[in-house]
Amino acid sequence: MTGFGRAEGRVGGRKVTVEIRSLNSKQLDLGVKLPGQWREKEADLRQWAAGRVVRGKAELTAAFDGVQGQKRTTFNADLVQAYYNELRAVAGTVAPDAATDLLGLVLRMPEVMTTAREELDPAEWPATMALMDQAWKNFDAFRLAEGAKLKAELGERTANITALLSQAGALDGGRIERTRARILARLEELQAKVDHDRFEQELVFYLEKLDITEEKLRLATHCGYFLETMAGEEGQGRKLGFIAQEMGREINTLGSKSNDAAMQKLVVLMKDELEKIKEQVLNVL
């Protein structure tokens, strides 16, 4: 969901700059910053941007010549004149010889000076939306380029897990027999007397708990499904996240059942690859 798009143009004789940017996030967190006279359009623009950005911590900003609006200060001439005449009459009665800056006092009186903000000109809005669309196209092109790189990386990480799983499968071939031989050797060292039939029965139960055939099959299936989903239609980010969680469960089970140092090492490498996948999946819509 990382992206950036920018567009500039003239609207109503002023330079307008529009920017759309986003960073990774599981949900949509959209901020909109507009000049004051565009505030009435904020809800429409928020809906417009949300339908396009979909996910991510995003921000849509627009500005006139680097400022957020133009203010215009005006004076109420009639009120200024009225205040001045009244103060001059009071001064002439109370202290006719006093040197007083009556105009300065008047300009500090309430409601003499007002600040007005420019209103939105409806005729300018189509040109403004044209800039919004151009910024979106640039933003979308940026994300498509990032998406191509991301797809290649996720495919590579998934292939690495599949390769490590193949190595684990090769080690699993003699693991059960090695475990059985190790238990028997330990019993001989202890010179323990055990019932042979009961021992074989318990050994079967124990070795069944170490069997990872199902886990290997499910993990391979999840990896294939991950690649298939990634190559499918758009908007699969959350689905890929769910598949990655399932991959993690199978890898954890492999680690708990493997009972073999070499296989444990492979499991650690799988987990490392999966963590990188989970981190990058957050950037998929």
pLDDT tens across 122-162, in order? 888 888 899 999 999 999 999 889 888 989 999 999 999 99
Write the DSSP string, 152-174.
HHHHHHHHHHHHHHHHHHHHHTT
In which domain, by residue range, is 112 found? Answer: 71-117
Q: Are residues 184 and 256 in the same domain?
A: yes
* Alpha-carbon span 285 to 239, nearest angstrom: 10
Alpha helices (H) along the chain: 42-53, 77-94, 102-107, 125-172, 175-190, 196-209, 213-230, 237-258, 261-281
Q: Are residues 200 and 269 in the same domain?
A: yes
Q: Are residues 240 and 182 in the same domain?
A: yes
Nearest alpha-carbon partner for 263 in 200, 195, 212 = 212
Cβ neighbours for 127, distance < 8 A, ≥ 6 positions apart = 9, 10, 11, 12
Q: Are residues 110 and 228 in the same domain?
A: no
Q: Are residues 277 and 175 in the same domain?
A: yes
Its sign, for the CA torsion 7, 12, 15, 21, is negative
Residue 17, in any domain of the structure:
no
Mean pLDDT of the chain: 83
Q: Are residues 76 and 197 in the same domain?
A: no
Residue 189, in any domain of the structure:
yes
Q: Are residues 81 and 163 in the same domain?
A: no
Classified as helix, coil or strand, 29 is: strand
Structural domain tally of the chain?
2
Cβ pair 87, 131 in contact under 8 A: no
pLDDT at residue 248 greater than cutoff 70:
yes
Q: Identify the band that residue 11 occupies on the pLDDT scale cut at 50, 70 and 90.
A: confident
